Amino acid sequence: MTKQQIYWHTTVKMPDDSNLTPLPEKVDVAVIGGGFTGLSAARTLAKRGVRVAVLEAETIGWGASSRNGGMTLTGLKPSMRTVIKRCGRDVAKRLFQCSLDSVDTVERVVNEENIDCGFSRYGHLYVASKPNHFDGFKDEVEFMSKEFNHKVRVVSPEELKTEIGSSNYHGGIVDEASGGLNPAQYVTGLARAAEKAGASLHARARATSLGRRATRFFIQTERGAVEAESVLVGTSGYTGSVTKKLQRKIIPIGSFIIATEKLSDELAHELSPKNRMIFDSMHYLNYFRLWDNRMIFGGRAAFFPENENTIRRSAEILRREMIRVYPQLKDLKVEYVWGGTLDFAFDMMTHVGEMDGIYYSLGYAGHGVAMASHLGKTVAEAMLDGNIKDHPFAAFDFPGAPLGLYNGSPWFLPFAGAWHKILDWLE
Ligand SMILES: Cc1cc2nc3c(=O)[nH]c(=O)nc-3n(C[C@H](O)[C@H](O)[C@H](O)COP(=O)(O)OP(=O)(O)OC[C@H]3O[C@@H](n4cnc5c(N)ncnc54)[C@H](O)[C@@H]3O)c2cc1C
């Protein structure tokens, strides 16, 4: 029987709500959202002597930050060719450099704060799901080298068995700079580090209204009010009506993961001999990796965010997909299934900036383990230094829905899901 439970939560004692402290009346910065973005920002601000409170609706680390695949990746969600078209070559270069810096940020924080989360530069493997997808891989590697001086390597179909124990794919690209970690252990360590630096973290403190009088912000929460000089929003796929203008720019999309029972060492080695972070080239993509000899297999099995129904359906869909990729796993038990919500902007780009005096970092599009950690830090620095407009991720506009046809309730998800399936069939 597969449990609807986040497997990662069984590997660490997550922050809980057993010891709620009163909210401070006044702070310099109030951070809304207690995930990688909010905690990384809080750690940075507190280290610079700022009085900072993190307000989290549920418990610290409750959101995507403790539910994800732990893939600590270079690059952005859109291809770098698309990013050049969208933002121009110079900005694209700064954005790509940010993505490399983001993995360094995670590595540095893990080392500085002694966070026991299994971080390592395992490298990622991007696999071609169809023969024609592989046709562009050689070009892609040359393009990344020429435009970004970033060295990645083509893996031919013949060589692929040295990387993955599946005959389902038609070649790949390896990027050795990417890493992997256990996200629940990492977010728990990050929370501890933020507190150690002097930030106060508050579970069960959902912000319910956010007002401004003169230069100060007044945040009403479920358990009291906080007055702050500045506010940073890091609510990702859970962005709600308290920041309505931001909510209308973010599409919440579900992503789901299963974890198998433990495999033997031999089988684990056969499936992923180099322990890579693996994802495929479909629009409806699968992503998978090993952790502690379990296969952690994720995908966009349903487009709607997590609930009992979408999680149950995803367990079946993902198990089928996993066995298609790895028939060797057909008799293995799937012990855990869970879901979480991703935040997509309408241009699939990440956006940081200031809107009505409120700072934000949003739109990670499933690419936020490294990036949210890094942008939490760099947006916090920019808040203090007063130069958010110079941040690379603030250098292009943050679009809303075409024709404004979106109020934060994603009525179009079934159509988007169907459209992705059609694209996968056509391309
Ligand atoms: C299933 C899944 C797999 C993923 N896999 C990967 C991966 O392998 N690699 C990768 O790079 N990325 C991955 N991601 C994406 C990554 O997890 C996120 O981009 C990242 O965790 C975002 O961090 P965050 O702090 O911005 O948001 P979150 O961790 O989602 O935190 C936002 C928090 O805001 C809180 N909140 C919302 N509204 C309020 C309010 N009004 N008041 C107070 N608090 C509020 C929520 O309760 C939530 O805890 C995955 C995501 C999911 C869901």
Q: State if residue 165 touches ligand 1 by the CB under 6 angstroms criterion.
A: no
| Distance from Cα 343 to the centre of ligand 1, integer Å | 8
Ligand 1 atom at minimal distance to the Cα of residue 40: 25
Ligand 1 site, residue 166, Cβ cutoff 6 A: no
Ligand 1 site, residue 373, Cβ cutoff 6 A:
no
Residue closest via CA to ligand 1's atom 50 equals: 68
Cα-to-centroid distance, 70 and ligand 1 (Å): 12
CB atoms within 10 A of CB 328: 15
Q: Which atom of ligand 1 is nearest to the CA of 339?
A: 1
pLDDT at site 342 = 93
- Asked if residue 306 has its Cβ within 6 Å of ligand 1, the reply is no
> In this predicted structure, what is the pLDDT of residue 310?
87
Q: Report CA(63)–ligand 1 centroid distance (Å).
A: 5
Q: How far apart are CA 316 and CA 299, in angstroms?
A: 12
Distance 154 CA to ligand 1 centre (A): 32
For ligand 1, mutation pick of 5, 126, 238, 279 (most atoms within 8 Å of CB)? 238
Where do we find the tokens 């997509």?
344
Residue 239 CA to ligand 1 centre (angstroms): 10
> For residue 165, what are the CA distances in angstroms to 82, 267, 410?
31, 9, 38
**Is the CB of 257 inside a 6 Å radius of any atom of ligand 1?**
yes
Residue with tokens 């009346």, as numbered in its chain: 25
Residue 333 Cα to ligand 1 middle (Å): 28
Shortest-distance atom of ligand 1 to CA 60: 49
Which residue has the CA at smallest separation from atom 22 of ligand 1?
368
Note the pTM of the prediction, 2 decimals: 0.96
- 38 in contact with ligand 1, CB cutoff 6 A: yes
CA of 35 to the centre of ligand 1 (A): 6
Q: How far is ligand 1, taken at its centre, from the CA of residue 4, in Å?
A: 19
Q: Is 372 in the pocket of ligand 1 (CB under 6 A)?
A: yes
Q: Is residue 324 a contact partner of residue 284, using CB atoms and an 8 Å limit?
A: no
Q: How far is the CA of 233 from the centre of ligand 1 (A)?
A: 12
Which atom of ligand 1 is the closest one to the Cα of 240?
Answer: 38
Q: Is the CB of 351 under 6 A from ligand 1?
A: no
**Beta carbons of 323 and 329 less than 8 angstroms apart:** yes
**What is the model's pLDDT at position 1?**
82
Residue 154: other Cβ atoms inside 10 A: 16
Q: Say yes or no: CB of residue 57 within 6 Å of ligand 1.
A: yes
Atom number, ligand 1, closest to the C-alpha of residue 238: 37
Tell me the three state secondary structure of residue 284: coil
For ligand 1, is residue 194 a contact (CB within 6 Å)? no
Best residue among 235, 314, 352 to mutate for probing ligand 1, ranked by most atoms within 8 Å of CB: 235
Record the tokens describing residue 40, joined without a space: 């990384």
Pocket test for ligand 1, best of 36, 56, 186, 236 (most atoms within 8 A of CB): 236
- Looking from the CA of 32 toward its CB, the CA atoms found within 13 Å total 34
CA–CA–CA angle 420, 426, 427 (5° rounding): 90
Locate the DSSP E strands across 33-185: 52-55, 71-72, 124-127, 153-155, 172-175, 179-180
- Taking only the tens of pLDDT, the chain with its 427 residues reads 899 999 999 999 999 999 999 999 999 999 999 999 999 999 999 999 999 999 999 999 999 999 999 999 999 999 999 999 999 999 999 999 999 999 999 999 999 999 999 999 999 999 999 999 999 999 999 999 999 999 999 999 999 999 999 999 999 999 999 999 999 999 999 999 999 999 999 999 999 999 999 999 999 999 999 999 999 999 999 999 999 999 999 999 999 999 999 999 999 999 999 999 999 999 889 999 999 999 999 997 666 777 888 898 899 999 999 999 999 999 999 999 999 999 999 999 999 999 999 999 999 999 999 999 999 999 999 999 999 999 999 999 999 877 666 777 776 666 666 666 666 666 7
3-state SS of the chain: helix, strand, coil percent to 5? 40, 25, 35
